[in-house]
Amino acid sequence: MSPEAELWAYVALEAKADGPQGRSIDARFRVTPPIGANSEKSWEIKAAENRPAKIFLKVPFDLKNAAFREIPEKEYAAAFVLDGRKVLPMEPETHRILKDSKYRSGGCYGLIASCMLESEFLPAADARAAMVMDFMENRGGLRLGMSEFDGGIDHAYTYGYWLDSLKLDRVKPVILGFYGSLAYGMSRETFSGVEVTHHVTGDNESTLPHLYSCTQQLRLLRMMLLREDGDDLWIGQAVPRPWLKAANRIEVSGAPTKFGPVSFSYESRAEKGEILAEVTAPARRSPRNMMIRFRHPDGKPIRAVEVNGSAVTTFSGETLSLSTPRGAFKIRVSFAK
């Protein structure tokens, strides 16, 4: 989004016409839209005699303006406690969708909440995002790692929840959602993307082919294998462990990222206690850090790493980190016995 944008603000002008109904008047007033930006301008309006005039107008604002943060602060103030759990309503004034779902996190709440997380308006580590994820997980918002809707599964709308899970390095919910999407995200036999599938019967709604569902499913796979995180780049963050069983190979060639195309491959020699990788870093702009994860099929931690024949120690757990990487890397990772 550009630094400048326009919002529609609904304004009730307290001026009244002093003549025949519908007479034009010129008034100067100040507009304060919800995001807190101000605008002062003269407007020609039509006002009914002795009644306030109401108009729609466009108000420009700067996305970098600190006042833009007033929305989530107000939403945070609207949070309430339900059965000992903090809940952030998507409609603070009315709780409409919460009431419709009898204060469960399934249905429209989960779909809207996950889309809000997908917008990245709130950082994944923000307490308000944590409220949303906790509510989805513990009040019926998820089934098999996917958004619940109308007694079925609406997997495409779970993407924001999956994205924040990756940002928090919570890999298991993402992998569960991925395999759930493979099972329930496509119609049987024709493999057409669907919007809602009833997980007990496997029957899907007739809204197909649902291209948004196809897109989100592919985006999920991409983020599991390759994901930008600000100035950093993740490779293989959420590769399912069975994919790196002995003799298995994963290869990605020329994948576009905001840093430039990236290529990488994994070759598992798990029976010998090692996994090999080759990575070609993006050439257009180097990420600050490139994190390469090696998810051993048995969950073993890394014991030693060689990069282009030299031992390195910039690893922890299952992840190797390379600062401002340039060029090609051949990596040999050894695991604890």
Instruction: Please give the CATH number for the structural domain made up of 230-335.
Output: 2.60.40.1180
Edge-to-edge strands of the sheet including 142-143?
142-143, 146-149, 152-153
Tens digit of pLDDT at every position of the chain (337 positions): 333 333 333 333 333 434 434 333 333 333 333 333 344 343 344 444 444 444 444 334 343 333 334 445 555 678 888 888 889 998 888 899 999 989 999 999 999 999 999 999 889 999 889 999 999 999 999 999 999 998 899 999 999 999 999 999 999 999 999 999 998 888 877 778 888 888 788 888 877 788 888 899 999 999 999 999 999 999 999 999 999 999 999 999 999 999 999 999 999 999 999 999 999 999 999 999 999 999 999 999 999 999 999 999 999 999 999 999 999 999 999 998 7
Cβ atoms of 260 and 284 within 8 Å: the answer is yes
Residue 211: its pLDDT value, please? 85
**pLDDT tens digit string along 107-135?**
999 999 999 999 998 899 998 899 999 99
Residue 223: its pLDDT value, please? 97
Beta carbons within 8 Å of 147's beta carbon, 6+ residues apart:
106, 110, 111, 114, 136, 141, 153, 154, 155, 157, 158, 161
CA dihedral 18, 21, 27, 29 (to 10 degrees): 110
Residue 199: its pLDDT value, please? 79
Cβ atoms of 204 and 187 within 8 Å: the answer is yes
Residue 42: its pLDDT value, please? 38
Beta carbons within 8 Å of 186's beta carbon, 6+ residues apart:
192, 193, 194
Q: Which DSSP symbol is given to 180?
A: H
Residue 23: its pLDDT value, please? 39
Domain boundaries, the chain: 4-65, 78-224, 230-335
Cβ atoms of 264 and 235 within 8 Å: the answer is yes
In 3D space, the residue among 161, 190, 191 whose CA is nearest the CA of residue 176 turns out to be: 161
Signed CA dihedral, 257, 260, 261, 266: sign only = negative
**pLDDT tens digit string along 26-59?**
333 333 333 333 443 433 444 444 444 444 443 3
pTM for the whole thing?
0.77
